[in-house]
Amino acid sequence: ASVLLLNGPNLNLLGTREPGVYGSETLEDLVTNLSKVMEELGGSLEHIQSNHEGVLIDAIHRAKGVHDGILINPGAFTHYSYAIRDAFASVALPTIEVHISNVHAREEFRHHSVIAPVVVGQVVGLGLDGYEWALRALVRKIEKK
Ligand code: DQA
């Protein structure tokens, strides 16, 4: 399986950004670990982090016909980007949404995801481990098809 990993705004600052909420591991640590997991599963992983909505949308469009599924942490775009939601609806690739923190235990504006209705499911509040569980679940889903 070929998976596209997308990380949205501010996730480039993992490790230094609000470590009490997001932990002390960096984005590089995360991608290194997930690449190993993908290798172990016999697949490949491409990673893109962007602070720009349009860059994420272009990456979702390009994934069609190239990747089998998408893993995304849309950051704050989760809560208001109808454009990212429409991009997922347009390409119809199996997608899992990940949040490092338990968004439901935080501010009210983080409780709602406009992306959730167009993805397979969400992994929320498990820290960086959540990406690994989500990746394993996504690969299983792709291989069952
Ligand atoms: C986040 C939660 C969002 O509310 C926040 O804006 C982020 C990170 C998470 O991974 O917990 O940037 O998606």
Domains of the chain by residue range:
2-73+85-123
Distance (angstroms) between ligand 1 centre and the Cα of 145 equals 30
Beta carbons within 10 angstroms of residue 95's beta carbon? 22
Q: How confident is the model at residue 17 (pLDDT cuts 50, 70, 90)?
A: very high
In the chain, alpha helices (H): 19-22, 27-40, 53-63, 82-91, 129-144
DSSP conformation class of 40: H
Q: Which residue has the tokens 């172990």?
A: 40
Q: Would the pLDDT of 10 be above 80?
A: yes
pLDDT at 145: 76
Residues 66-116: pLDDT tens digits?
Answer: 999 999 999 999 999 999 999 999 999 999 999 999 999 999 999 999 999
Atom of ligand 1 nearest to the CA of 77: 6
Structure tokens at 78: 């989760």
54 by Cβ neighbours in 10 Å (0-12 / 13-18 / 19+) ranks as: exposed
Pocket of ligand 1 (CB under 6 A): 10, 73, 75-76, 78, 99-101, 103, 110
Structure tokens at 131: 């990406």
Structure tokens at 8: 């949205």
ipTM over 0.95: yes
Nearest in space to 47 (alpha carbons), one of 23, 36, 125: 36
Q: How confident is the model at residue 56 (pLDDT cuts 50, 70, 90)?
A: very high
- Ligand 1 pocket test target in 53, 77, 99, 104 with most atoms within 8 Å of CB: 99
Residues 109-142: pLDDT tens digits?
Answer: 999 999 999 999 999 999 999 999 999 999 999 9
Structure tokens at 24: 């002390």
Atom of ligand 1 nearest to the CA of 101: 11
CATH fold of 2-73+85-123: Rossmann fold (3.40.50)
